[in-house]
A and B are shown apart, each in its own frame.
Chain A
Amino acid sequence: MSSALVRALEGAIPKDRVLTKASDLLCYAYDATADDEGRVPDVVVLPASADEVARVVRIACDAGTPVYPRGAGTSLSGGAIPARGGIVLSTARMDAVLELDAQNHCAIVQPGVVIQRLNDVAAGHGLMYPPDPGSVAVATMGGSIAECAGGLRGLKYGVTKHYVTGLEVVLADGQVVRLGGKSTKNVTGYDLVGLFVGSEGTLGVITEATVRLVPAPEARATMTAAFARSSDASRTVAAIVAGNVVPATLEYIDATTLRLVEEYLHAGLPTDAAALLLIEVDGPPEAVAREADFVERVCREHHGEVERAADEEARERLWAARRAAYPALARQSRGTIVEDATVPRSRVPEMLAAIESIAERHELTIATVGHAGDGNLHPTLLVDPDDADLMERAHAAVAEIFRAALDLGGTLSGEHGIGSAKAPYLGWALGEGGLDLTRRIKAALDPQGILNPGKFAE
């Protein structure tokens, strides 16, 4: 990086928000992606307004230098890694909830707002913002919109793209555009808001977002059901949905995960079970009672051993196993590769079987939890970055998991995005035509290729 460029950046935004020390830069080389060494950027900037973002991008555009937008750096597919060096643009200082419009059930936020904070503000009005990725307490609105984050409530409430109605974006040449707005219905031209949701920072930098909120459910009921055969768990999921009941949460926890969680928590989990379902229904109290009774009956009909939470304390206990899944896996090994291959709901049993046989074939431990209701599974490979042989087998297994998901009519990623980690497989999912269209869109919006290079869109 030329010192002229750093000087230009220091002229564009206050100097104390342009970081160039080695100890600062090293801390922006990575995100939460396993199995990626990262790359140290040349400079980090922390703009505080859309105007400052635009100035930074214009400088980068003039110099042909890459810019990597970054929120909390919790992305799981390499989205925030500065793959080719250049400028990391952190939105951490743009963290204001600009407006909470209870009348129109929406909020306007800056990109650095942490998702949980928006929920805390919304809760004061009896509202909620449904997308809830596992990183909800730290991930930012900007990052989660750029990655189209999902979460545990996807089955009933959908994912991030279903909630973004307006955006302000700084384009690759520094131009600022405002797209969409508060209207729920909006067919004015192309769906340009939709174009940027999930674009992983490759088309523009999000500097403001208008998002839809929904009334927070008045009541909820929570239960777990343990099954001796995993096929019974899968059939239970199908039967619940066939009964036209849509739980807010319908989580599948496999036997490997149960064993590892119990070793970690000692919570008396049914480690002899082949699978555990965690189910939560929410809504008006009468509907919740009716639906919970239905779900409980269906679980029992499929030989599930049901435990239903009587109060908030019991609910927390039932959730503990699911919440502890990641910590338990993380403590069990030196590294974890969390995938998020997704299949149509009805193909979940086949996908689970495929993962099991892939694990066996490559002699790997793969623990699977997943949002069974929406077909989004998280096979988690326990790995050791220092064990070359193990890593080689893990990489082969990951490729086979993708292949299996696609063969079942599914896709590479339900909610983590493609980034750099899954970029080599993108053609498998999109085909030549889809890849070509992706590249043409990228070339039209970012002809120099300065926005988040090294990711899927090139």
Chain B
Amino acid sequence: MSAGRRPDDLQTIQAVADAVAICNRCGNCQAVCPVYAETRTEPGVARGKVQLAAALLSGVLPVDRETAAAFSTCTTCMACEETCPSGVPVVDIVNAARAQIVEMRGLPWVKRVVFGGVKRPGILRAAADAAARLQGAAFKPAADRDLRRLRFPYGLAARRAYPPLAARPFARPGARRKASARPRVLLFPGCMVTYVYPGIGDASVDVLERAGVDVVTPPEAACCGVPLEAHGDLQGATDLARLQLDQLEGLELDALVAACPTCTSSFVHRYPRLLNGDPRYAARAQRLAARSYDVTSYLVDVLHAGPPPGRLEATVTYHDPCHLARGLGVTRQPRELLTGIPGVCLSEMREPSRCCGGAGSFSLTHQELSLAIGARKAVDIVATGAEVVATSCPGCRMQLADVLTQAGDSRPVVHTVELLAAAGHQRL
């Protein structure tokens, strides 16, 4: 038993105590867990983590660095939730455990510094700007695909191949008021699109405008908060949720769309949950949730967008991002958009919704595991013989490009909207 711990010290994880209790330890999650497939150890899989949460609750397991490490080996891909006979909300439990540990032990200093910056848009922008200018010193270009490798090998990090930061961040803010009768859509770019893949932002604007809407972006490019919550910084994540709602307040919007499903799920699921009970924000979070969409589902389900005017002769395979397929239930819409492009032939890979191992910062904190999970995805992609890999998440795109590079493969990886935009301009 840990000394001096009272039940009310554990409020954050107490909130999921009922969820922990419904796991009947059948072990079915072993069939689908991407982490378990690599580690083959029980702490890797959901059943193990739920039992560890139970042990935290009962005081058997101390809140220490070892416990924090045990809860860190999860990509939150939700595959276990989909297969669980009892409907255990595993990701909520993992996040609650991570948050509980941070509450009691604090954030490690590196994360404290980084998240401190992420929470303040101005600092984040300045840091990204400086990094974009200085990256030539730290990274050397990797072959193909515009990726770069770390110039100074810091352990395994040297193996990873990442795209360079954008020279000019994506931004396209508009007036606060509606200027035309056309629907007005806020494109929430998120950090990855803003600083790494501005092309996805440009393509989203292009495709949305062609479908007949006006597009604006938020006044400030700020993080949605998922990376903070994933590392247990619940307070930081909640602060960012409020910041986002504040800056969107008063904007005349018909819908909010994002090309990053993790950002989208923040607006659809996380903010209403984080701000539940907050008298100033709860109702606003709910209202915005009802109008928030992934860009592909907005194009198909709301705008009923027709095919692009151009043609694209290509065999394409599609990877389902976890937070889009399982988080938001969107799998049909991107496929409809892709197969709607004249000339495109869709070649499905084995297990298209299996996690690619990217999982945001997981790819940095657990590089070996992330690469091993991704290597399986690379094999499945290569087996399709497709010329182009499409996905609907900038994080997945970065991971897929990296693991294909690691596998010595150079086929392009793009976001669904980039293919649509390219077909619209009849180029690629």
Residues of chain A whose beta carbon lies under 8 Å from any beta carbon of chain B: 19, 21-24, 26-34, 44, 46, 72-74, 90, 92-93, 95, 112, 114, 116, 135, 137-138, 326-327, 330-331, 334-336
Chain B contact residue count (CB 8 A cutoff): 28
- B86 near A73 (CB under 8 angstroms)? no
Whether B86 and A327, one on each chain, are in contact in the complex, defined by CB atoms closer than 8 angstroms, is yes
B70 interface residue per 8 A CB criterion: yes
Q: At the interface, yes or no: B144 with Cβ under 8 Å from chain A?
A: no
How long is the Cα–Cα vector from A331 to B70 in the complex, in angstroms? 27
A29 to B31, CA, bound (A): 20
**Residue B24 is within 8 A (CB to CB) of chain A in the complex:** yes
State in angstroms the CA–CA spacing of A116 and B21 once bound together.
29
Q: Are B31 and A138 closer than 8 Å at their CB atoms?
A: yes
Q: Is the CB of B41 within 8 A of A331?
A: no
- List chain A residues, Cβ under 8 A from B179: none
In the assembled complex, the Cα of A108 lies from the Cα of B52 at a distance in Å of: 36
Partner of A135, one of B28, B66, B70: B28
Contact A22 to B41, CB < 8 A, known contacts A27-B48, A326-B85, A330-B24: no
Q: Which of B55-63, B104-112, B284-292, B355-363 contacts A (4 or more CB under 8 A)?
A: B55-63
Alpha-carbon distance between A334 and B20 when the two chains are bound, in angstroms: 10
B43 smallest CB distance to A (angstroms): 5
Q: Known pairs A22-B62, A90-B42, A135-B28; list 15 more (Cβ under 8 Å).
A: A19-B41, A23-B43, A23-B70, A24-B70, A27-B47, A27-B51, A30-B51, A32-B25, A34-B24, A72-B27, A137-B31, A327-B85, A327-B86, A330-B26, A330-B85
Residues of the B chain whose Cβ atoms lie less than 8 Å from the Cβ of A21? 66, 70
Could you tell me if B40 and A135 are in contact, using CB atoms closer than 8 angstroms? no
- B67 within 8 Å of A by Cβ? yes
Q: Which of A30, A34, A46 is B41 in contact with, Cβ under 8 Å?
A: A46
With the chains together, A29 CA to B25 CA distance in Å? 11
Of the candidates B25, B42, B62, the one having the most CB atoms from chain A within 10 angstroms of its own CB is B42
Q: Is the beta-carbon distance between A31 and B55 smaller than 8 angstroms?
A: no
Q: Which residues of A have CB within 8 Å of B31?
A: 114, 116, 137-138
B interface residue numbers (CB < 8 A to A): 21-22, 24-28, 30-31, 40-43, 47-48, 51-52, 55, 60-62, 66-67, 69-70, 85-87
Closest residue of chain A to B39 (Cβ to Cβ) is A92
Bound CA span A368–B308, Å: 55
CA distance A93 to B44 in the complex (A): 14
Residue of A nearest to B45 (CB): A27
Among A23, A73, A92, A135, point to the contact of B52 (Cβ < 8 A): A23
Write the chain B residue with the least CB distance to A36: B25
* Residues of B with C-beta under 8 A to A26: 51-52, 55, 60-61
What separation, in Å, do the CA atoms of A103 and B262 have in the docked complex? Answer: 51
| Contact across chains for B26 and A135 when beta carbons are under 8 A apart | yes
Closest 10 CB pairs of A and B: A327-B85, A27-B48, A27-B42, A92-B40, A23-B70, A137-B31, A330-B86, A138-B30, A27-B43, A74-B27
With A21-B66, A23-B52 as known contacts, state yes or no: A335 contacts B24, CB within 8 Å: yes
> Which of the residues B24, B27, B60 comes within 8 Å of A73, measured between beta carbons?
B27
Q: Residues of A contacting B21 with CB < 8 Å?
A: 334
Closest A residue to B60 using CB positions: A26
Q: Is the CB of B41 within 8 A of A138?
A: no
Known interface pairs A27-B48, A92-B41. Does A331 touch B87 (Cβ–Cβ under 8 Å)?
Answer: yes
Q: Which residues of A contact B60 (CB under 8 A)?
A: 26
Q: How far is the CA of A93 from the CA of B24 in the complex (A)?
A: 25
Contact of A138 among B27, B52, B61 (CB under 8 A): B27
Is A23 within 8 A of B87, CB to CB? no
Q: Enumerate chain B residues within 8 angstroms of A22, measured Cβ to Cβ.
A: 61-62, 66
Min distance, Cβ B376 to any Cβ of chain A, angstroms: 14
A24 near B41: Cβ-Cβ < 8 Å: yes
